[in-house]
Amino acid sequence: VKLLKPNTPDYLKQEAIYCLWMLGDRRGANSLARIALDRTRESDQTRLMATEALGNNVRKPFIQRILAQAVLDPYVGVRKSALCAVGRLHD
């Protein structure tokens, strides 16, 4: 979770996102949400990974709102990831 800061290089941040995603770890939910919507500081690839990871391990109302915003993202990869994540929420 400590690697999910804006100044962390993309490759390390992406590895941390992947680990949280596969482990289903909820501790990084707030950071994943921030990354998913931060178009100014985060790369498209990092944002799409964070978006999809949210659907794998978090079922909180604020995550539903984040994913609803991500469905409208200008980058098609983030939009697709948001749709996949929403499908896994089971809400």
3-state secondary structure the chain: CCCCCCCCCHHHHHHHHHHHHHHCCCCCHHHHHHHHHCCCCCCHHHHHHHHHHHHHHCCCHHHHHHHHHHCCCCCHHHHHHHHHHHHHHCC
pLDDT above 80 for 25: no
- Interval 58-79: pLDDT, tens: 667 888 899 999 999 999 999 9
pLDDT above 80 for 21: yes
pLDDT above 60 for 18: yes
pTM exceeding the 0.85 threshold for the entire prediction: yes
pLDDT above 90 for 44: yes
pLDDT score recorded for residue 19: 92
